[in-house]
Amino acid sequence: MQQRIFIKEVPKCVGEKVRIAGWVNIKRDHGKLVFVDIRDNSAMVQLVGGEILSNLRPQDAIEIIGSVQKRPTAMINKNILTGEVEIEVQESKVLSKAEELPFDMGQEDLNVELPTLLDWRSLSLRHPKVTAIFKVQETIINGFREILKQDSFTEIQVPAIVPSATEGGAEVFKVKYFDKDAFLGQSPQMYKQIMVGVFERVFTLAHAYRAEPSVTTRHLTEYLSLDAEMGFIESFTEIMEEVEKMIRYIFQKLNSERAEELKIFGATTPQLSAKIPQLKMREAQQIIFERTSRDNRQEPDLEPEDEKEICRYAIEKYGSELIFITHYPTKKRPFYTYPDPQDPEYTCSFDLLGRGLEWVTGGQRINDYQQLLKNINEWGNKPEDFELYLQAFKFGMPPEGGFALGAERITMQILGLKNIREASLFPRDMERIDQRLSVLKPKDKKNEKN
Ligand code: 4AD
């Protein structure tokens, strides 16, 4: 039997007979003449036929044999890879029939509400506009991996079941672990730090679990955390340099490999200045106060409105859509964060904000065993819950630090998506684990934030 080829190869086969397989995207029935767009993992191509195609329905999985021919000049579509050819079908076989669709998958813009898209996720993910989101995400993840490998980082895998909360006690999922309690890891933080003692530079792609008790457009309860950690640093600014290098590499990769997908969303990678600007958190709050008269100068963190305002400022002042905010207050950061030796009320830590939202968190860590032990106690944790982690600091842990970014958050911000759920294949939130867990009751509306 003739071997199947991928659709992207079809334009090279004019005058030849080919066998292809894929899904029916759209059918246009003009009576005697039927046109079908068929899609596989590589591209889409137009089929032409008569009765042989008339029984097909959108999303049927089919296999056909036909002759590749040049399209009449008036029918050429320069916008697609296969726009100069079509296949005249001689044999057609339905491999698996599709039921009637709950919404029109043929519309280019997919004008369907998000809850419906999520209720029919296995179907909606097949729409080219939705698929494009995950191609972009794959490129972001590949970019993260490639640049860190080039810089001598080793990829590691860490467990999801952990003995203790790391990023803050409340937002943690407890799991019944035989007759004990365990937790789902809020971040691979502890393990990547331990592994600095082994490989010096490590990174991981880890699922992170946050029991976020509110419904927002930027939080998931399970997200993909792209984490890196490096030893033998002299200053936390080295970590910011690594973040900047990684971000620039990802943007460059998106522009060269994903121009088509960015175009679908009318998106561009964020504009950057020669160097990403930096401000201390207190400086940022002062600027925000001067610009808006909103006085959050004593607050321990930037409010969502403040993040938006300081991003507006970064564009106006520096021509950069990204900005580093450094030196968050010690008491508001996790126990492992390194206090600034010059001003221990504040930390050697940073967030990278872009287009009004936090993308990355990072900083230097405390690598002194005694200081870490003291902080664990002061932050209200039990040292025995951190035994294995603490062990690593008894045996020569160099000065170190690292960072983490949420894959869905970055995808959302680059493509200008309104809701982070759009950037997750199978999003988890308070209301959904594939199925809707409940319908929002009026009294729960107070949890709805933006
Ligand atoms: O700021 P976070 O909580 O920092 C940490 O987890 C530290 N362990 C990182 C470190 O290396 N010090 O989370 C890091 C990033 C955020 O900037 C955001 O992009 C993403 O992870 N993130 C979420 N994304 C989706 N849903 C959530 N609930 C998220 N929480 C954090």
Instruction: Tell me the per-residue pLDDT of 407-432, one tens digit each, with 9 for 90 and over.
Output: 999 999 999 999 999 999 999 999 99
Q: Is the pLDDT of residue 299 over 60?
A: yes
Which pLDDT score, from 0 to 100, does residue 1 have? 78
Runs of H (alpha helix) within 258-303: 259-264, 281-292
Give the C-alpha separation, 83 to 107, whole Å.
Answer: 18
Q: Is the pLDDT of residue 444 over 60?
A: no
Task: Please state the pTM of the whole predicted model.
Answer: 0.94
Q: Indicate the range of 2-6, 74-78, 143-147, 438-442 predicted with least confidence.
A: 438-442
Give the C-alpha separation, 446 to 336, whole Å.
Answer: 33
Q: Please tell me what DSSP assigns to residue 39.
A: E
Which pLDDT score, from 0 to 100, does residue 303 have? 94
The more confident residue out of 154 and 109 is 154
Give the C-alpha separation, 162 to 208, whole Å.
Answer: 11
Ligand 1 close to Cβ of residue 236 (< 6 A): no
User: Could you state, in order of their start, the residue ranges of all structural domains in the chain?
Assistant: 7-96, 121-434
Tell the CATH superfamily of the 121-434 domain.
Bira Bifunctional Protein; Domain 2 (3.30.930.10)
Which pLDDT score, from 0 to 100, does residue 79 have? 85
CA of 33 to the centre of ligand 1 (A): 54
Ligand 1 close to Cβ of residue 242 (< 6 A): no
Which residue's alpha carbon is at the smallest distance from atom 31 of ligand 1? 406
Tokens of residue 98, six digits: 């599709």
Task: Say which CATH class 7-96 falls into.
Answer: mainly beta
pLDDT in tens, 130-169: 999 999 999 999 999 999 999 999 999 999 999 887 676 6
State whether residue 259 is helix, strand or coil.
helix
Which pLDDT score, from 0 to 100, does residue 287 have? 98
CA 377 to chain centre: 34
Which pLDDT score, from 0 to 100, does residue 186 have? 94
pLDDT in tens, 310-369: 999 999 999 999 999 999 999 999 999 999 999 999 999 999 999 999 999 999 999 999
pLDDT in tens, 59-78: 999 999 999 999 999 999 98
Number of residues in the chain: 450
Give the C-alpha separation, 390 to 370, whole Å.
Answer: 10
Residue 212's pLDDT band, with cuts at 50, 70 and 90, is confident
> Average pLDDT for residues 22-46, to the nearest whole number?
95
Ligand 1 close to Cβ of residue 404 (< 6 A): yes
CA of 235 to the centre of ligand 1 (A): 22
Residue 213's pLDDT band, with cuts at 50, 70 and 90, is confident
Give the C-alpha separation, 172 to 167, whole Å.
Answer: 9
Residue type present at position 102:
P
Q: Is the pLDDT of residue 449 over 70?
A: no
Q: Which atom of ligand 1 is nearest to the CA of 360?
A: 17
CA of 225 to the centre of ligand 1 (A): 7
> 285 near 302, Cβ under 8 Å?
yes
Q: Which atom of ligand 1 is nearest to the CA of 220?
A: 26
Which pLDDT score, from 0 to 100, does residue 214 have? 83
Q: Is the pLDDT of residue 441 over 70?
A: no
The region, left, alpha or beta by phi > 0 then psi within -120 to 50, assigned to residue 82 is alpha
Q: Is the pLDDT of residue 33 over 70?
A: yes
Which pLDDT score, from 0 to 100, does residue 168 have? 66
> Average pLDDT for residues 387-402, to the nearest whole number?
97
Which residue's alpha carbon is at the smallest distance from atom 20 of ligand 1? 406
Ligand 1 close to Cβ of residue 222 (< 6 A): no
CA of 442 to the centre of ligand 1 (A): 30
Across the beta sheet with 357-364, the strand order is 154-155, 201-209, 222-231, 400-406, 357-364, 349-354, 322-326, 278-280
> 360 near 383, Cβ under 8 Å?
no
**Percentage with pLDDT > 90 across the chain:** 90
CA of 171 to the centre of ligand 1 (A): 12
HSE value, Cβ hemisphere, 13 Å, CA-based, for 287:
20
Which residue's alpha carbon is at the smallest distance from atom 4 of ligand 1? 361
Q: Which atom of ligand 1 is nearest to the CA of 227?
A: 11
Q: Regarding beta strands 33-39 and 44-49, do their DSSP bridges make them parallel or antiparallel, or are they unpaired? A: antiparallel
Tokens of residue 422, six digits: 């759009």
CA of 439 to the centre of ligand 1 (A): 28
Ligand 1 close to Cβ of residue 427 (< 6 A): no
Ligand 1 close to Cβ of residue 212 (< 6 A): yes
Which pLDDT score, from 0 to 100, does residue 346 have? 98
